[in-house]
Structure 1
Amino acid sequence: MVKNRLSWAKEFLLAALFIILLMGVDFSVQGASPLLRGIARIIYAVVVAGIVYYVLGTTKIFTNKIQLNTFAKVWGFIFGICLGGLFIVISVLAHSALMIHSQTLIADTLMAFSAGVFEEFLCRGLLLSAFADAFKKQQYKFTEAALASGVFFGLFHFMNLISGQGLQQTLQQATYAFVIGAIFAAIRLTTNSLTWVVLIHALIDWQPGISVDHAVSTITSWPIFLAVWGVLLAVAVVFLVGFDRSAVKVKRDEETS
């Protein structure tokens, strides 16, 4: 792994500071136009990304990309189909069609991109690296780090309760944010880059009205909801375990060569 400039404990404190400052940014532009809020968010996101980049020293997590074993490749293929189907249907097709009629297209685009940059540099950049360092002595450190960063990502969405979002909606949002967080961590580890998760996250959030009101108003039936996201989580965890085994093998080969 690439060595960072700060210890994992200091990285956690820095992440907490970023969230507090985000709340301050949102409060300072409360009541402003959607465009102004979008501009404020994207400026803050870029500043945070720059600081995270300085702390990590790179957008990579490994010096060299981990070569996957056969088990990880097979589950990666299954994982890619699950994720790809969900992403293409929900984000690329549905959201693009809706955005044609958006009355706040520029503001929505800025808000979606700011979410992708801020949340990915924070959760899959700073926090994933911090958790991986904190769990470095564990057998499945990357699986644990991915799930831990996913839990944080899910809890992060409880902030929406402050804006008046309902508890049931927030619980479902936090749950699927946890699963998506684990999936994004797997992509981050596999590609050894933040670029893809930033783009995917931004496209998922790219929907009309997100700069006006980003609260979730609908509730999916819990059995269906848990079945869908439970399957995605299971596939992601199996893949992450395979990734951990591949990483251990690479490290062992490097030590014996």
Structure 2
Amino acid sequence: MEKFVKHRFLNSVLFTALFVPLGFFLLRDTIAAITGIMFESIGGKESFLYQINEDIARLIIAGLLILIMPLFFRGKCNFGFKGGKLALGICLALPELIVPVWNLLQIKVYEAPLVTGVAAVAAAIMHGIGPGVSEEVFCRGFTVSNLMRIWKDKPNRIFRCMLVSGVSFGLLHALNAIATGDVFAALIQVIYTASIGMLDGAIYLRSRNLWGVILMHTLTDVSAFLAVFESNATGMDIIFCVFGSLLFIALALYLIRPAKRAEIDELWAEDWSFGDEDGKKRISAKVAAILTAVLVVTFAASLGVTIYQAKMGYDIPFFPASENALDKDVQYQIGGDGKELTILLPYEFGGKYDLENSDPESFVLKESRENGDTYLFVFSHEGTSTEKVKITFGLRLGDMSTSIKNYSVSVSFKDDGSISTVGG
């Protein structure tokens, strides 16, 4: 007896447009944490593989989505890598070139130093390919396609797919933007990324091919990583975001204008459908269920990783760690070149400090000694790593086995490797 597959979650607009893309970012952190340990053990934190660790994690997750979805839809799903209108997709995406061009102009205007060396340039390219492929697979290839299937009998489904997918893409950047502490700038960034999401969604709807938006997304991110910027967003940046947002929204609406709706409907007539399921003969649904269960467990684990990273003071994409105030007994001084940090802690005769440093190779203890009623520690940042370092000082008196007082210090770095802030 035949059974019909009931995709309960995949029929949900909220699940499709927000929860799946959000899960992508969280799962990326989990996989990156695992592969990061492996790459660090192989070549250290300065190695090329470690530098592109997050990009590898992005591509792994995108690959998993591409492999799993055909199991749910009996092979009838097309992520836009083949078929459709390739040339049209690339042509329609060309206006987005203004973004990488703007990034290159900023490099010239601010005389930002370019990254040097084959490994650094290759890493910048991978920093573009990773998000360019993975975010388009999730936010266009999956989200837009599944929304078109969910709303196949709804009026104005093309406009609704473009709008909802774009807005969800903007919202995914909201919490990351709030890390700046500037609510106005955060709002501008959400509107800007939502407008790009709408345009990319419209291009994908018109062409049924992802390569155009992947190319523009990749070029945008590569151009942003080719140089080291130290300054925050300027007034010109905000003006560009506002102008660009209006332009992208106008282009998106033009691309899906009523005169093109019939052409779009014909292009999307197939590709994603339920199909019927014979539970006795086919195992696809069972395999999909098992893989989904594994991803759900991994997703739960990723929340644990996120909480742990926040507790340890690391910066994470959606929940940047806030700088806690230093203990009132802690004093510090950053050297003139930004590479040396002196920390002074309270000291009593007979006391001893146990030191735990999360990055002992890059952030090296150069000196430690009594200094009157304080104990002095001098650290030097050897290298260019910009990962936050957590240091724990445990004060013991005499032969006591446990600390009577713990001091926690977190050190953040600028893009050039110099020390930027010190917190608790």
Q: How does 1:164-179 map to 2 (within 5 A)?
A: 164=180, 166-179=182-195
- The more displaced of 132-141 and 17-26 is 17-26
Contact 1:99 / 1:105 at 8 angstroms: preserved in 2?
no
Contact 2:112 / 2:227 at 8 angstroms: preserved in 1?
no
Structure-1 residue corresponding to 2:133? 117
C-alpha deviations, 1:14-60, integer Å up to 9, x for none?
A: 43322222344567769x55955542222212112212222154323
1:194 maps to 2:210: yes
1:59 maps to 2:65: no
In 2, the alpha carbon distance for the partners of 1:84 and 1:227 equals 13
Structure-1 residue corresponding to 2:62? 49
TM-superposed CA distance for 1:153, in Å, is 0.9
Contact 1:170 / 1:216 at 8 angstroms: preserved in 2?
no
Structure-2 residue corresponding to 1:89? 101
RMSD: 4.3
Structure-2 residue corresponding to 1:204? 220
In 1, the alpha carbon distance for the partners of 2:52 and 2:206 equals 32
Q: How does 1:91-240 map to 2 (within 5 A)?
A: 94=105, 101-103=114-116, 104-161=120-177, 163-164=179-180, 166-207=182-223, 209=225, 217-220=233-236, 225-240=241-256
C-alpha deviations, 1:139-158, integer Å up to 9, x for none?
A: 22122111111111111112
The code of the aligned residue for 1:112 comes to: G
Contact 1:154 / 1:177 at 8 angstroms: preserved in 2?
yes
Contact 1:52 / 1:125 at 8 angstroms: preserved in 2?
no
TM-superposed CA distance for 1:219, in Å, is 4.2
In 1, the alpha carbon distance for the partners of 2:99 and 2:146 equals 28
In 2, the alpha carbon distance for the partners of 1:250 and 1:26 equals 37
TM-score, with normalisation over the residues of structure 1? 0.70
C-alpha deviations, 1:138-193, integer Å up to 9, x for none?
A: 22212211111111111111232465463333222211111111111122222322
The code of the aligned residue for 2:202 comes to: A
TM-superposed CA distance for 1:136, in Å, is 2.1
Structure-2 residue corresponding to 1:18? 24
- Residues 124, 219 of structure 1: CA spacing in aligned structure 2 closer, same or farther, 3 A cutoff? farther
Tell me which structure has the larger Cα radius of gyration.
Answer: 2
The code of the aligned residue for 1:154 comes to: G
Contact 2:100 / 2:220 at 8 angstroms: preserved in 1?
no
The code of the aligned residue for 1:218 comes to: T
Contact 2:139 / 2:169 at 8 angstroms: preserved in 1?
yes
The code of the aligned residue for 1:20 comes to: L
Contact 2:165 / 2:198 at 8 angstroms: preserved in 1?
yes
More helix by share: 1
In 1, the alpha carbon distance for the partners of 2:115 and 2:126 equals 13
Q: Which has the higher contact order (CA 8 A, sep 6+)?
A: 1
Choose from 240, 261, 274 the match for 1:244: 261
Unaligned runs of 5+ in 1: 69-76, 253-257
The code of the aligned residue for 2:154 comes to: Q
- The more displaced of 112-121 and 52-61 is 52-61
In 1, the alpha carbon distance for the partners of 2:177 and 2:251 equals 30
Contact 2:81 / 2:210 at 8 angstroms: preserved in 1?
no
More strand by share: 2
TM-superposed CA distance for 1:220, in Å, is 4.1
In 2, the alpha carbon distance for the partners of 1:214 and 1:130 equals 40
- Residues 199, 127 of structure 1: CA spacing in aligned structure 2 closer, same or farther, 3 A cutoff? same
Q: State the identity as a percent.
A: 21
The code of the aligned residue for 2:79 comes to: T
1:39 maps to 2:52: yes
In 2, the alpha carbon distance for the partners of 1:34 and 1:167 equals 36
TM-score, with normalisation over the residues of structure 2? 0.46
Aligned residues: 238
C-alpha deviations, 1:214-257, integer Å up to 9, x for none?
A: 996334486775344223312311321343243347789xxxxx
- Residues 199, 251 of structure 1: CA spacing in aligned structure 2 closer, same or farther, 3 A cutoff? closer
- Residues 240, 20 of structure 1: CA spacing in aligned structure 2 closer, same or farther, 3 A cutoff? same
In 2, the alpha carbon distance for the partners of 1:129 and 1:168 equals 33
